[in-house]
Structure 1
């Protein structure tokens, strides 16, 4: 028998598919590994079917042949016999033309394992020694390892026991990311350094997500790549209500070509695959040669995350040292986003601290801010700051949304309670309010510690910098200190205020917050017309305009140009006063009038150059 690794130097090899899928189809659904003793003819027939379909490599029927699993079925005294018989059956089918791998399955997986790591290693060693004692194997296959700690420890333990090739297959919950929150390429590289001859993926995902995952993985100089995808994602049959995989052997074969293009040299199948799938793979790769070079598509690394966090933190640090501008832009109410995109592009050119996207402000339905942020992410340079309300999301939705935000790289959040649904365009809608802004701040900071709201580990920390809202438009601003302190204690990194239209408020607010080191971005919103001013003053909570300002606007209301000029001058006067006390300016764009916001950004920057 020629050496497996020698063969892989110049050839793509096809491995077998699922054992359990076929045993289930035969009505054998208890202890699969015990069938090596009780139904050897069925096991032999499955091996032969895969070899006939074109498999160059088959694996022993020993995935769960460890002590704690066999004990469940009363076979704990038959561990050595079951493993050795499995090797005999596989070698009988393979002869000297097909490679045989001794298979060991992970202990830690979707179901909780009762063993600690030391016990897992003891049981794995017991099984490996039983397999190796036959001296009929061409290598060992460790598969469906979700937990990187287990796999690395197993490899450390097994590598000194044999010179046979070792193949380690990782299983993923998320494409490209291990269960322990590490980039796939990082774990694969570590496995290679520890002596794995072939590193790969198996189970949980079908070919598509495995192809996507492998785009980040380079060709290793001293190891080869393997993939054993499921036939598809699981689905439920509408009539039988049974879980099933797609019958997609032709698609599976075509996917094999794409896997070879990612550098894979061993292609087999996992759950749901059959000899038909393997036959299609064989046809697809028959005339393909392994690739020698590959362009990789890097994913976000830990170093990238650290850099990103530093960038987001500098929004807070920066405003402590110099004037920093952030602007608000409401997502569109319709699917016509041309004007919105125009506004975003214009603001992006202004080199400001962040652009904030509201979360259905005033309870009016708009395009989801996370969706539009994801849509824009690759086309702009300015960081996006997303509002998040307790009104529209229950606890499940909030944590889900936050984990999604972190995964997508949106780490600037404004945590708010949210205006009640009754004031919006769907007054019959329910306001959720599982949490208010205080509890939402606490939840976000808890996620930053790597803990779910339930207390369960997230296996990775989120990296949010979180703002709290503050309304200075109250009769007695001195009484708001307790509110500020509560939000700081809950986790607020900085504050963003409601728009201020009374210049005297800036000095008052500066005195109130003087004891605190937490930065404030003071809200400034240009008025677009007399009617706009009347609406804001009378109907929008938290906004008050002076009677003298309203009277002067009313005198000019029939001359739109003069009215706008007066309103803009008044806004600039407010900015002049604000800059006497604050370095953080929060410009709120009214009615998509981004031209006004751009003018004010230019005004602030010119003022700093004087």
Structure 2
């Protein structure tokens, strides 16, 4: 396959690294889970066919996340790679899906003045042999090529359990000349598939040229935060943290390992509702992570606009959605406004 890199076009808007130097940057992820919840994407293969079948849904979701405070519109090409489309017998949709996803994201980024990000994700077929590396590299190269052609501001390479697969994706991104964000997914073992602790994986990514390194997905706020301390100490570059919004614990540190005592089957991936974090828990995570020196923050699988807004406000931002942030002072029964009926306020104790 021939693949050529077109030099990125200069932009008059502040780029990712400049924005990070100015303060925290928020990136909303989690499109797979949100589209599945809305009934536009099938759990299991998790292929983002919604991009082609219902582009209006993806466009509106981008807008909702920007409205809530995301500084970045990430093209919905996660799991939109050759292997996933082969799995469902639709390899012919590979290029149209990627180009459509990038076009939708670009439209929203341009209208909102946010950054446009391309996306590479874990391939699920990576192995430590030359044939596998060649196959996966080709998958990354074609997706990166389409992202460059669309004029993205930077490329996110995310959710890697294999550190060497992440480094392979990073090589491809660096060849484009664009800034690279590389994030690792850390399972119950607490290490990558090669046995690297997260700080070592991030250190290697930084040394290989990543501009932002960190963690995304798999772990909730409570079990991701301790890992971020080691990452922050190990690297000098910007650090990213995008947890899933679920109440993981030391005993059940990942959303795959969560168990519901009320049900026999494992909750992951479609029965996680009882474990959902509140918006306030995401806000607290954002404050604590930012205090550690983590400046690239977001929410991954399961996150909704209300989580993004709460995270943004915790970092001192006031996105458009803040106009509608809760104000319980005027609640009919729980409010404190003096104009409310006194008997309603008295009834509050019975609620």
**TM-score, normalising length: structure 1:** 0.44
**Structure 2 residue ranges without an equivalent (≥5):** 1-12, 249-254, 319-351
Shift of 1:119: 0.8
Task: Tell me whether 1:99 sits opposite 2:111 in the alignment.
Answer: no
Which of 298, 309, 321 lines up with 1:268 in the alignment? 298
Task: Tell me whether 1:129 sits opposite 2:145 in the alignment.
Answer: yes
Instruction: Tell me the equivalent position of 2:163.
Output: 148
Provide Cα deviations, 1:118-144, integer angstroms capped at 9, x if missing partner: 211111111111221112x11101111
Instruction: Tell me the equivalent position of 1:49.
Output: 64
Higher relative contact order (CA 8 A, sep 6+): 2
Instruction: Tell me the equivalent position of 1:75.
Output: 90
Task: Tell me whether 1:244 sits opposite 2:272 in the alignment.
Answer: yes
The 1-side partners of 2:39 and 2:232 are apart by 42
Query: Do the aligned partners of residues 91 and 256 (structure 1) sit closer, same or farther apart at CA in structure 2, a change above 3 Å counting?
Result: same
Query: Do the aligned partners of residues 12 and 6 (structure 1) sit closer, same or farther apart at CA in structure 2, a change above 3 Å counting?
Result: same
Query: Do the aligned partners of residues 240 and 181 (structure 1) sit closer, same or farther apart at CA in structure 2, a change above 3 Å counting?
Result: closer
Instruction: Tell me the equivalent position of 2:309.
Output: 279
The 2-side partners of 1:240 and 1:18 are apart by 26
Shift of 1:58: 2.3
- How many residue pairs get aligned? The number is 285
Show the 5 A alignment for 1:225-240: 225-232=239-246, 233=248, 234=255, 235=258, 238=262
Instruction: Tell me the equivalent position of 2:206.
Output: 192
Maintained 8 Å contact 1:23/1:29:
yes
Provide Cα deviations, 1:29-79, integer angstroms capped at 9, x if missing partner: 335422211100000011011011111112111011111111223331222
Shift of 1:247: 4.1
Which of 4, 23, 27 lines up with 1:15 in the alignment? 27
Which SS does the other structure have where 1:15 is aligned? strand
Maintained 8 Å contact 1:219/1:263:
no
Shift of 1:210: 1.4
Show the 5 A alignment for 1:383-532: none
Show the 5 A alignment for 1:54-65: 54-65=69-80
Show the 5 A alignment for 1:552-567: none
Shift of 1:18: 1.1
Instruction: Tell me the equivalent position of 2:252.
Output: none
Which SS does the other structure have where 1:196 is aligned? coil
Provide Cα deviations, 1:73-117, integer angstroms capped at 9, x if missing partner: 333122222111111111212225111211111113899xxx722
Provide Cα deviations, 1:313-339, integer angstroms capped at 9, x if missing partner: xxxxxxxxxxxxxxxxxxxxxxxxxxx
Maintained 8 Å contact 2:126/2:136:
no
The 2-side partners of 1:110 and 1:80 are apart by 21
The 1-side partners of 2:177 and 2:26 are apart by 22
Shift of 1:23: 0.8
The 1-side partners of 2:143 and 2:93 are apart by 11
Which SS does the other structure have where 2:103 is aligned? helix
Which SS does the other structure have where 2:227 is aligned? helix
Shift of 1:165: 1.0
Maintained 8 Å contact 1:67/1:76:
yes
Maintained 8 Å contact 1:175/1:209:
no
The 1-side partners of 2:307 and 2:189 are apart by 22
Instruction: Tell me the equivalent position of 1:407.
Output: none
Provide Cα deviations, 1:396-435, integer angstroms capped at 9, x if missing partner: xxxxxxxxxxxxxxxxxxxxxxxxxxxxxxxxxxxxxxxx
Which SS does the other structure have where 1:142 is aligned? strand
Query: Do the aligned partners of residues 244 and 9 (structure 1) sit closer, same or farther apart at CA in structure 2, a change above 3 Å counting?
Result: same
The 2-side partners of 1:218 and 1:21 are apart by 29
Instruction: Tell me the equivalent position of 1:418.
Output: none
The 1-side partners of 2:206 and 2:245 are apart by 27
Maintained 8 Å contact 1:231/1:252:
yes
**TM-score, normalising length: structure 2:** 0.75
Query: Do the aligned partners of residues 106 and 221 (structure 1) sit closer, same or farther apart at CA in structure 2, a change above 3 Å counting?
Result: closer
Shift of 1:282: 0.6
Query: Do the aligned partners of residues 279 and 129 (structure 1) sit closer, same or farther apart at CA in structure 2, a change above 3 Å counting?
Result: same
Query: Do the aligned partners of residues 171 and 239 (structure 1) sit closer, same or farther apart at CA in structure 2, a change above 3 Å counting?
Result: closer
Provide Cα deviations, 1:572-592, integer angstroms capped at 9, x if missing partner: xxxxxxxxxxxxxxxxxxxxx
Instruction: Tell me the equivalent position of 2:322.
Output: none
Maintained 8 Å contact 1:175/1:212:
no
Provide Cα deviations, 1:429-477, integer angstroms capped at 9, x if missing partner: xxxxxxxxxxxxxxxxxxxxxxxxxxxxxxxxxxxxxxxxxxxxxxxxx
Maintained 8 Å contact 1:108/1:147:
no
Shift of 1:207: 1.1
Instruction: Tell me the equivalent position of 1:425.
Output: none
Instruction: Tell me the equivalent position of 2:197.
Output: 183
The 1-side partners of 2:125 and 2:316 are apart by 34
